[in-house]
Structure 1
């Protein structure tokens, strides 16, 4: 056999082998909390929401299969970073979604920035993610600390709650939420009379609540989340704080938090959210589909945001023809209308902030609720341009000028 014949046969064999080989699927990595305090508000529900988006999109991107994988970052930045790097380098992950805990999200954002991988943030809320730490491959989809502050903080101050005391969780998210809320309170004519920091996953808030109670502030603002918020609310009830005339502001409350503490404790709390399952026919239809996979549990704003972010990422990736360049997909998305059950006529800004309406809601009393998960009354729709930090006030280095 001649060398030329051998070369031809080898080439033909290689082509046949390549044609018969299965291409590795594109993967969406849901990086979430599967074992800690954020499990109910994100966790398995975020995985389910991402899977629903991939299925509804048709399961393929640019002709290749798309799969969802999930990882537990344990609310630790080093664990989250390691998982993200391994996914991108070894498992063909083209986008990372959800990412509870701002310190984890900021660490993961550095990995995705270096690799030009899409980061679709739904749970982490520090406004720094689209501020000084912004990235061209990131979209912060659902909420941020500025929007919560501008919603709840401004509304309560304008209605007469002029003095505020902050009970703040001592890490990136808590610091950002307190700072943004304090600024909104002062802009509305209020004052901050004190604050106290607490570690994450605190079981005893008695000393912190006593300081807040002794301050005489109109509002005790809980600048924390999930398990910490629920524990603080329960213990505030035991101390008779609201019975004594002070208001409690849960600066970040999820539907699952209200469900966890019950309407007896959560009733009449004012909060800001990006989504409520029972707002209209579209939200109810999607939420009922979600609930069928989650034993009747209704979605939080995070779950709805994960679905919307993954679906719109897939649309933009298909339109751009670029599955692996997060920055190019985001640039394509900036030219698209983002319109679904979660947000209408929304847009992705250059700093990575998705601008959409937010909602000021009040928790129903037990008498007003018609059953499980019927918890909110919508008081006001906050237009996106009002809810989120104006672009001309951003310190994102991607903004020209």
Structure 2
């Protein structure tokens, strides 16, 4: 019988913790891209989501104040690591969250493990965070490259898109997304004809798109995100790629990017998110509250950050203090029941497992209200969307 094991450090402290809050407050850092290619994908809106979670929690935990700080890591792992180190060493930050950009998330999670501080990643996608580079005090919320591959990749292969060519962002996230989607498409009977890598934040996709077009692949997989995906889709339209019969797969595309691109250009795209504001009356109520606060509707990164903050605060309350190992143990133990995940659970490798949704972008005439952009085509159960922890490569998990 398969058994999932946490590290001895977490198990040893899973019992009652000292009933205290260090430094007389709980301080959470939201570290992400606020000025570059992923500024709308997460950015200042994730900070607003974190503040909203604190307000909804009541503003205090165990009668101690909660503070949220934020900084722009500019998509650079060295800058992110310097900020994280300063936060830990001199500014009494207890946990860091969001961490858009996989190279950044991997670096900060590793640094935080050394500093004995919790990270909850909601903005980065690589499965390495809960795979070979997992941490007993590191957690991955919202989505990852495997869930995107199962959702968007699987749907398109089943719809006849059985040959692929990838335009891939040239860093850890892009490699992981291409690898996961390639594996899943191949498993479903598809073939991969090739791939080309592009720099982060490139503005000219012409040479990459021409290579993809020349491949003859039925599907061009955009293994990128944010403004890179928007620009690739716009330029593909200029080349007439979709008009000539090839399909674009926006492998990481969220409500924020659809809004930036517009329904006219985005209509018909298939994508995967783990939250959609207009899916139920309850998600719509949350979305409208978020809109009143920020001027935009939330995507899965924003709402995932809200969920991560709420779960962290609940874990502190359950642990009776903010001691790292005790809080980490409670994060593993407690179910995730909130507006983001109605049936979430945290696996031994730190992966939060919840349902994801296969979405199709509406035609302009189908949209009934502002930000009403998606038709929900399918619900993918979390246990199907995410890797079995025993197969993740995480050394905290054994068979």
Answer yes or no: same fold by TM over 0.5.
Answer: yes
Per the alignment, residue 382 of structure 2 pairs with: 384
Instruction: Check the 8 A contact 2:152/2:271 in 1, yes or no.
Output: yes
Per the alignment, residue 356 of structure 2 pairs with: 358
Deviations 1:247-271 (A, max 9, x none): 0000000111111111111100011
Query: Quick check: 1:76 aligned with 2:82?
Result: no
- Other structure's SS at 1:367 match: helix
Per the alignment, residue 96 of structure 1 pairs with: 96
* Aligned pairs (5 A) from 1:333-348: 333-348=331-346
* Aligned pairs (5 A) from 1:239-388: 239-295=239-295, 297-325=296-324, 327-388=325-386
- Other structure's SS at 2:128 match: helix
Instruction: Check the 8 A contact 2:130/2:349 in 1, yes or no.
Output: yes
Higher relative contact order (CA 8 A, sep 6+): 2
Once the two structures are TM-superposed, the CA of residue 333 in structure 1 deviates from its matched residue by 2.1
Instruction: Check the 8 A contact 2:23/2:92 in 1, yes or no.
Output: no
Once the two structures are TM-superposed, the CA of residue 370 in structure 1 deviates from its matched residue by 1.6
Q: What is the distance in 2 between the residues matched to 1:298 and 1:380?
A: 21
* Aligned pairs (5 A) from 1:170-189: 170-189=170-189
Aligned residues: 378
Q: What is the distance in 2 between the residues matched to 1:23 and 1:174?
A: 39
RMSD: 1.2
Deviations 1:64-118 (A, max 9, x none): 2111111111111011111111111111111111110000000000111112211
- TM normalised by structure 2 equals 0.93
Deviations 1:176-235 (A, max 9, x none): 000000000000000001111111111111111111111111000000010110000000
Instruction: Check the 8 A contact 1:23/1:64 in 2, yes or no.
Output: no
Q: What is the distance in 2 between the residues matched to 1:129 and 1:335?
A: 19
Instruction: Check the 8 A contact 1:94/1:324 in 2, yes or no.
Output: no
* Aligned pairs (5 A) from 1:14-29: 24-29=24-29
Unaligned runs of 5+ in 1: 1-21
Per the alignment, residue 194 of structure 1 pairs with: 194
Q: Flag the structure with larger Rg.
A: 1
Query: Quick check: 1:237 aligned with 2:206?
Result: no
Once the two structures are TM-superposed, the CA of residue 352 in structure 1 deviates from its matched residue by 0.6
Once the two structures are TM-superposed, the CA of residue 24 in structure 1 deviates from its matched residue by 4.6
Per the alignment, residue 398 of structure 2 pairs with: 400
Q: What is the distance in 1 between the residues matched to 2:145 and 2:110?
A: 20
Instruction: Check the 8 A contact 1:162/1:218 in 2, yes or no.
Output: yes
Deviations 1:25-76 (A, max 9, x none): 3211011112111111111111110001111111122332111111111111
Inter-CA distance 164–136: structure 2 relative to 1 (3 Å threshold): same
Q: What is the distance in 2 between the residues matched to 1:222 and 1:311?
A: 32
